[in-house]
Amino acid sequence: MTVGSGADHDVVVVGGGNAGISLAARLLRRGVRDVALVEPRERHHYRPLLSYVGAGLAPMSSVERPTRSLVPDGCTLVPDRVTAVDPGGHDAPAAVHTAGGRRLRARTLVLCPGLEEDWDATPGLAAAYADGWAASTFVGESATRVWPALRDLETGRLLFSVPPEPAPCAPTALKPLLMACDHWRRRGVLQRLDLTLVLPYDAALGVAGPDRHLEDAFASYGVRVVRGARVERLADRSVTVTSPGGVEVADDLAFAHVVPHYRAPRWITDAGLAGDTAAGLVDVDPGTMRHRHHPAVWALGDVADLGTRPSGGALRRQVAVLADLLTGGPVADDGPRYDGYTVMPITLDRRRLMLVEIDRDGRPAPTVPFPDLARPRRSTWLVDRYGLPQVYFRRILRGRV
């Protein structure tokens, strides 16, 4: 499982999010002695809670922790930004170059830096965020602006978007919309609001049963859905949308919850590690997560081309498999494999949530036979809002789940 000699570290993990920290913790618990973690951000976010911040149901303090406080004991934290990668080969180890001038050589290099907002893909989006009439719960620093912008509205036009894949659990962009609709209905103002949802595909999830629940919710709340659509540009409180039906402009908006498009960091493509995806995802075997052409390089999470929708639940499965592969000897045909499992937690209102579990082909893949977690339930809402954050910080990031 190692390539080359003379490396500075046995394993270098790029990215200190869910994937990077939990993998580092698992490897250390499995006896790997020398693990380095490269992460420039001083604050770590538990991303799923940002949707609840945008619905006024969670404070930002519940989302954030200092990165250093989460790095497992025995792991070397490198607080720096990656600028280039040398994937190695033959007898040479892989190497990571950072903005601070560091060069870290690794026998095993694991890439999980997450995706970056591609602001250039949507002209005017960055300016609209800066002007304050657009924001989203996907962009950490803007999430706190969403609820104040939505909470007291009584009239006006609003537009919400779901980003196309790849994105960090893209369907969860529905959560702020549906929780806000429930709030407006309770206040008796919902019927006075003009709501548009821009979907990149014909269906919200592509899973029959949960999609029926969502379609019922859209109809109940009076949300107009534009399908197979893309947000093209923003300017002067207007959003231009293209769809199979043509081009339309939603103007005079009170607020726009528009999620940026995403792509992998440019240094992945520059290093020759990307495949043929437009977003530059790392070209890995979807079962083993090992790079197809560079045996010292592995990738998981949003940045890896795994043929499934990114999610935190998918990461837990990926981390478990990759930890087994990195500590279990040579990769064998009958060894551990990631099966593409992923999960999408979607609220229908401010108190019910459905947990939609699917495999790589979009087929239902429930982890328990009973109850049906894909039905909207109060209990799954409570687990998503209160239970999973505790499990995340106390167990997942410590390599125990």
Helical residues (DSSP H) of 34-94, grouped into ranges: 50-53, 67-70
- Given this model, what pLDDT does residue 173 score? 98
**Of the residues 210, 242, 262, which one is the last residue of a structural domain?**
262
In the chain, what's the furthest Cα-to-Cα distance? Answer: 69
Q: Do 232 and 206 belong to one domain?
A: yes
pLDDT digit string, tens, across residues 310-327: 999 999 999 999 999 999
Residue 358 in domain: no
Q: Phi and psi for 65 in degrees, rounded to 5?
A: -145, 150
Q: d(Cα 42, Cα 108) in Å, to the nearest integer?
A: 25
249 bridge partner residues: 240
Q: How many CA atoms lie within 13 A of 267 on its CB side?
A: 17
Mean pLDDT over each residue of the chain, to the nearest integer: 95
CA torsion sign for 106, 110, 115, 121 is: positive
Q: Of the candidates 105, 102, 103, 104, which has an alpha carbon nearest to the alpha carbon of residue 89? A: 105
In a shared domain, residues 270 and 329: yes
Dihedral sign for Cα 296, 301, 303, 307, please. Answer: positive
Q: Are residues 224 and 243 in the same domain?
A: yes
Which pLDDT band holds residue 7 (cuts at 50, 70, 90)?
low
pLDDT, tens digit, 9 for 90 and up, residues 102-131: 999 999 999 999 999 999 999 999 999 999
**Are 331 and 290 in contact, with CB atoms under 8 Å apart?**
yes
Rounded to whole angstroms, the Cα distance separating 27 from 165 reads 30
Q: For residue 346, tell me if it sits in a domain.
A: no
For 252-299, the pLDDT digits (tens) are: 999 999 999 999 999 999 999 999 999 999 999 999 999 999 999 999
From 226, 245, 262, the end of a domain falls on 262
Residue 1 pLDDT exceeds 60: no
Q: Are residues 126 and 84 in the same domain?
A: no
Q: Is the dihedral of CA 348, 262, 278, 112 positive or negative?
A: negative
299 found inside a domain = yes
The answer to whether residue 384 is domain-embedded is no
- For residue 239, being part of any structural domain is answered with yes
Q: How far apart are CA 216 and CA 205, in angstroms?
A: 14
> Domain check: are 45 and 87 in the same one?
yes
Q: For residue 178, what are the domain limits?
A: 118-262
The larger pLDDT score, comparing residue 100 to residue 331, is at 100
Q: What is the pLDDT of residue 90?
A: 74
336 φ, ψ to 5°? -60, 145
295 CB-contact burial (10 Å; exposed 0-12 / middle 13-18 / buried 19+): middle
The alpha carbons of the chain give a radius of gyration, in whole angstroms, of 21
Assign 380 a pLDDT band (cuts: 50, 70, 90): very high
Q: Which phi and psi angles does 198 have, rounded to 5°?
A: -100, 115
Dist CA 110 CA 273 (whole Å): 12
48 and 76 part of one domain: yes
Domain-terminating residue out of 262, 290, 325: 262
Residue with tokens 């002067």: 236
Residue 362 lies in a domain: no
CATH number at residue 231: 3.50.50.60
Whether residues 132 and 246 fall in one domain: yes
In one-letter notation, the amino acid at residue 255 is F
End-to-end, the C-alpha distance of the chain in Å comes to 24
Q: Are 209 and 306 in a shared domain?
A: no
**Statement to judge: residues 258 and 282 lie in one domain:** no
CB 223 within 8 A of CB 177: yes
195 and 281 Cβ atoms separated by less than 8 Å: no
Q: Is 326 contained in some domain?
A: yes
- For residue 296, the model assigns a pLDDT of 96
Does 240 share its domain with 327?
Answer: no
Instruction: Compute the average pLDDT of residues 359-385.
Output: 93
Residue 90: other Cβ atoms inside 10 A: 6
